[in-house]
Amino acid sequence: MLRSAPAVSLANAVGSNGPKTKESYPRIRFWNQNNFQGNVKSTDYIEHGDGTPADLTERKAITERLRDFLTEISEGLQGVTIPPFRKLPLSIKDKYFADIEQQFPYLGMCANHWKAKVVWQENFGNWKKYHAPPDDSDIKEVPSQTNRK
């Protein structure tokens, strides 16, 4: 059974002190995704408000929360494969952003949720490989039997 995401008010969605802005977190190096392009370590974009990178334990916790979220969504879809992020319904994207940024507020310290989106994109393929039901392309159609004359 799919557990619904907690109700998100505007205050919760943007934080109790208003929307998160680059000016509020001047030490964030990767506010925009294009600031991150070409960096060597792929998880450097996950940084706290003071600019320090998330440690391995935190990164593992983020991945685990994403896996739990994907499992919940998958169970709610009752055997239908979760599509890639770009094809997700907006309602699922919104639930994901609210959930992951509530659990890990520093993922929301960026423009347009790009950090949460990259976490999904970097981990979805591996989760799908081991946990998702087979997609329709893997299911072979059973030929219909016809009476031949």
Residue-wise pLDDT for 55-88, tens only, equals 999 999 999 999 999 989 888 877 778 888 999 9
* Residue 19 confidence (pLDDT): 59
Q: How far apart are the first and last CA of the chain?
A: 50
Higher pLDDT pick, 11 / 94: 94
**What's the pTM value of the predicted model, to 2 decimals?**
0.70
| Closest by Cα among 102, 96, 94, 46 to 71 | 96
| pLDDT of 90 over the 80 cut | yes
- Residue pointed to by tokens 């709610």: 76
For the record, the structure tokens of 105 come out as: 């507020």
Residues forming beta bridges with residue 53, ordered by sequence position: 47
Residue 14 is inside which H or E element, if any? helix 10-14
* Residue 76 confidence (pLDDT): 81
pLDDT per residue over 32-42, tens digit each?
777 777 555 57
Domain spans, the chain: 56-133
DSSP category for residue 28: -
For the record, the structure tokens of 73 come out as: 């969504």
Question: Amino acid identity of 48?
Answer: H
* Residue 142 confidence (pLDDT): 29
* Residue 132 confidence (pLDDT): 62
Higher pLDDT pick, 53 / 15: 53
DSSP category for residue 47: B
Percent of the residues in the chain that have a pLDDT greater than 90, as a whole number: 30
Residues forming beta bridges with residue 47, ordered by sequence position: 53
Cβ neighbours around 61 below 10 Å, total = 14
CA 80 to chain centre: 18
Dihedral (C-alpha) 31, 101, 123, 29: value to the nearest 10 degrees?
20
- Across residues 117-121, what is the average pLDDT? 92
